[in-house]
Amino acid sequence: MQRILITGAASAIAEATARLYAERGARLHLLARNEARLKDIAADLLVRGASGVTTATLDMNDTDAHEAAIAQAGQALGGIDVALVAHGTLPDQAACEASRELNLREFATNGTSTIAFVAALVAPMRAQHSGCIAVISSVAGDRGRQSNYTYGAAKAAVSAYLSGLRQRLGPDGINVLTIKPGFVDTPMTASFRKGALWAKPDAIAAGIVRAADRGRGEAYLPHFWWAIMLIIRHVPEFIFRRLKL
């Protein structure tokens, strides 16, 4: 029986991933801000086969509360096999440019709070000499683009942090998985026009579980985003600066 901790558990990708683990009979501990939504998700996961589901509310920007939340999760689960860090927002870049406060708050939500939570996971994971820390970053972190560079900068920081942590924790038997989704059709992107590159949360969830099972260090989801971002990363700067991306 796997023991799964999920932050941002009310998000579409996190919920879809939790359902896959529930179908395996896993035990889950869910963290999010909306208590009522958590209770609804927990009830659904039990119907789908979860061996147990516990919940707790947490504002991820309250970094002082991270260690206690993780300790509570470990106690409820009896240890943590997979920690999926899936919280985040999709900020409006123009609004961030207009407000220093909003700019910093969005960076904290998508970058600093994630790094702080992952850092707090290290000690309990090392104590059990096993586990997977899976974190949703984004292809947006591979290169800054004018349409969402606050978000992209936060995700770039997360990805770089995870890369170093993966090297550090490998000898301890702990895998650190960086998840890099492309465009995903969720309530957060409801206002966007959808096209061929867009994926559904269920497809991303399947990729997350598969990558965690295989001990992957990095997963572009869907996989074709690896090739897309390889091209974007290698566009010369004198050309890139003239593009409208």
The answer to whether residue 9 is domain-embedded is yes
For residue 215, what is the domain's CATH number? 3.40.50.720
> 191 pLDDT exceeds 90?
no
Domain that holds residue 15: 3-240
Query: What proportion of the chain, given as a percentage, has pLDDT over 90?
Result: 94
| Residues 37, 12 contacting (CB under 8 angstroms) | no
Count CB-CB contacts under 10 A for residue 129: 9
Q: How many domains are contained in the chain?
A: 1
Query: Sheet containing 52-57: which strands, arranged edge to edge?
Result: 52-57, 27-32, 3-7, 82-85, 131-136, 174-181, 218-221
Over the stretch 9-42, which tens digit does the pLDDT of each residue have?
Answer: 999 999 999 999 999 999 999 999 999 999 999 9
The answer to whether residue 163 is domain-embedded is yes
Averaged pLDDT of the chain: 97
E-strand stretches of the chain: 3-7, 27-32, 52-57, 82-85, 131-136, 174-181, 218-221
Sign of CA dihedral 101, 119, 64, 27: positive
The answer to whether residue 245 is domain-embedded is no
pLDDT of residue 52: 98
pLDDT of residue 75: 97
Burial of 207 from C-beta contacts in 10 A (0-12 / 13-18 / 19+): buried
Band (195; pLDDT cuts 50, 70, 90): confident
The answer to whether residue 83 is domain-embedded is yes
| Residues 8, 34 contacting (CB under 8 angstroms) | no
The answer to whether residue 154 is domain-embedded is yes
The answer to whether residue 165 is domain-embedded is yes
